[in-house]
Chains A and B, each alone.
Chain A
């Protein structure tokens, strides 16, 4: 299986899916699913293959190439598998929506573009795929209309800013080194000055920072996540946003090289340290803002930003342990956030688009599978031991503590505790507590939506208990960056400063739970009661209009709301408003009076003459 075939399959599949949709929607669904499953098969068959191919020399004579290495493979498999699950999920979720052809087309196109990004062997094809991804994402974010429209504009404007920065960076590299192939750039980079490297790092960091929503550049994300269709929110948060992490890895550890990017500047004011601090801020502030959200998807979106911070901290700290943590967290985040978005999507599906945390509750009896997904998802998000999130977070904490960065560690840990609060609210207000009367007879979750949720839930546990599975290929990636490899075994990680043995913890917990479960069963059997048989000072709980999930952390709201505002968003809004104002006024120079226009002409003439007198052309 060659890479050309893979790329052809990805892009061609997207187009063909669209065409198939013109014939019949059932055919399209099946075709889309087959396509994405086929991609999974192809990519997994390429495990441990390292190859480079040149696609064509068409772009101004620059060779556009594809290459496969451990890093690319790792991201590629994550992309294609999440895509396959999401496509499967969409088969039910999108059934009664309009423009589904378009939806599938864009979804598959985005996946193809992401695949092309991670596989691209040179910067121009990287950029082209990046942009295809950006605009197709824009088209899909806007899919839900109404509130989605400003979100889409916000996204595409910030994305454009990012890509313009990247374009400048790429062209500057091309000008400096006369090549765009990454492997050749790596060789040339040794000759570059430190200042130039710093310039490259910064300008690419803006791009990837926007994509990965590092704090001052994050403002596109909450709206975009919240307003796109749920399966796509999953892709968006799981993989698409994390292309930023891929980019950071690419620029920091592949192109500029670890030995350069980790020694840029001095002391606190070094590139990677500032990046790590930005990551820390990214963890703390959005996590606390998430606590104030009342929209399930928006809450998850803010967490998406916050979790991105862990990855940034991990990879910016730049030890093999931290790097492994950061990369592993990227994968883990993808798994659990996709799961969470799919669970919320299931609720949206069942309750006809309701995702307001204040008006739902008690759904765990009605939608057990979605609840399972939600529970394991938030466990992973918090990093409860035995879920995958724990391992990666553990790696990051350990790196930070032993790397003598207690304040960074504090930020990361604090972020975790903030996460617990807000995701518990998420879980509680959606699934636990009282089931409102109007949701007693909600739609059932279809099988096609249940399967991905179950698969992802199991993956969370498997990766949590046997973290060695993904860590092995991450280890290969780290080695390719020139770091010392970790001692990874199937159950965890061991190093001279402490080991992590997940299967150990798992087995003990399992035994203890079993023992207590037996004790529990042996004790007097309990009577089952319904949710209205609750003690509320002797009063009967009213069945209608009774929902106490509103304002779950009311005391905290009162305390924190004045301080927890997204100042950057406000700043950008101000800038946008100012730009609009400027745009609205600058066109007033076209006054509509011909005499004014003639004056402009005369003025131009005068200007030219004075320019001649100043610069003396002749």
Chain B
């Protein structure tokens, strides 16, 4: 692991620290959350990678969407995502957020999450095992290294698009736009 490479730390401490200190929003969106407890406890011990769950998005930099996203949950997800400080990363977990999975024709489950918030990576499977989470995280490290985990930048850039999609789904969002000067 390159968290022991001092030179990288000096070059860009923020990026390195972001990589090795994932604070995950511990937000139970769907059935996938059942895979989180084994991954953070004794068996798989996510903490050795610096991954710990936190209770509030203000302190987090990683958002795990664990499982299917119902319309109602989506509202909270958007809200939570917007409240996370930048830089922030989103990883969708399981097949449902990707294309709806087994709920592909459900009336109250959204089929593609990235219409509403930007997603930096997907972990496919139903359910993916904890090992898959760690693989996903290592991929995310690489993406961060290459500056390709730019979901939050996209969100800022394409805010009008996302907001339009959000408003289309929900008639009333209940909070003002996050960015005032965002352009398509």
Interface residues of A (CB under 8 A from B): 532-533, 535, 537-540
Looking at the complex, which one of B76, B173, B175 makes contact with A533 (CB distance below 8 Å)?
B175
* Contact of B160 with A by CB under 8 A: no
Contact B83 A535 (CB under 8 A): yes
Q: Which residue of A lies closest to B27 (CB)?
A: A538
Contact A535 B76 (CB under 8 A): no
Count residues of chain B with CB under 8 A from any CB of chain A: 13
Contact B175 A538 (CB under 8 A): no
C-alpha gap A433/B70 in the complex (Å): 32
* Contact of B157 with A by CB under 8 A: no
Contact B80 A538 (CB under 8 A): yes
C-alpha gap A508/B90 in the complex (Å): 44
C-alpha gap A532/B178 in the complex (Å): 12
* Contact of B56 with A by CB under 8 A: yes
* Contact of B96 with A by CB under 8 A: no
Looking at the complex, which one of B57, B75, B173, B174 makes contact with A535 (CB distance below 8 Å)?
B57
C-alpha gap A533/B174 in the complex (Å): 11
Return the CB mask of B14-27 against A: 1 if under 8 Å, else 0: 00000000000001
Min CB–CB distance B7 → chain A (angstroms): 23
* Contact of B139 with A by CB under 8 A: no
Contact A532 B76 (CB under 8 A): no
Given contacts A533-B175, A537-B76, 7 further A-B contacts (CB under 8 A): A532-B175, A535-B83, A538-B27, A538-B75, A538-B77, A538-B79, A539-B79
Query: B residues within 8 A CB of A532?
Result: 175
* Contact of B58 with A by CB under 8 A: yes
Total number of residue pairs linking A and B with CB closer than 8 Å: 21
Which chain B residues in 48-67 approach chain A with CB under 8 Å? Answer: 56-58
12 contacts between A and B (CB under 8 A): A532-B175, A533-B175, A535-B56, A535-B58, A535-B80, A535-B83, A538-B27, A538-B76, A538-B77, A538-B79, A539-B79, A540-B174
C-alpha gap A535/B56 in the complex (Å): 7
C-alpha gap A185/B85 in the complex (Å): 75
Name the residue among A532, A537, A538, A540 with the largest chain B CB count within 10 angstroms: A538
Query: A residues within 8 A CB of B58?
Result: 535
Return the CB mask of B69-103 against A: 1 if under 8 Å, else 0: 00000011101100100000000000000000000
C-alpha gap A532/B175 in the complex (Å): 8
Which chain B residues in 143-179 approach chain A with CB under 8 Å? Answer: 173-175
Q: Which residue of B lies closest to A534 (CB)?
A: B83
Query: B residues within 8 A CB of A533?
Result: 83, 175
Contact B175 A540 (CB under 8 A): yes
Query: A residues within 8 A CB of B76?
Result: 537-539
Min CB–CB distance B85 → chain A (angstroms): 9
Query: A residues within 8 A CB of B75?
Result: 538
Min CB–CB distance A534 → chain B (angstroms): 8
Query: A residues within 8 A CB of B57?
Result: 535
C-alpha gap A538/B77 in the complex (Å): 7
C-alpha gap A382/B49 in the complex (Å): 44
C-alpha gap A538/B27 in the complex (Å): 9
C-alpha gap A343/B32 in the complex (Å): 53
C-alpha gap A533/B173 in the complex (Å): 13
Name the residue among B57, B75, B77, B79 with the largest chain A CB count within 10 angstroms: B79
Query: A residues within 8 A CB of B83?
Result: 533, 535
Query: A residues within 8 A CB of B77?
Result: 538
Min CB–CB distance B163 → chain A (angstroms): 15
Query: B residues within 8 A CB of A538?
Result: 27, 75-77, 79-80
C-alpha gap A533/B80 in the complex (Å): 10
Min CB–CB distance B12 → chain A (angstroms): 14
Query: A residues within 8 A CB of B175?
Result: 532-533, 540
Q: Which residue of A lies closest to B82 (CB)?
A: A533
Which 8 pairs between the two chains have the least Cβ-Cβ distance? Answer: A538-B76, A540-B174, A538-B80, A538-B79, A535-B56, A540-B175, A535-B83, A535-B57
Query: B residues within 8 A CB of A540?
Result: 79, 173-175
Query: A residues within 8 A CB of B27?
Result: 538
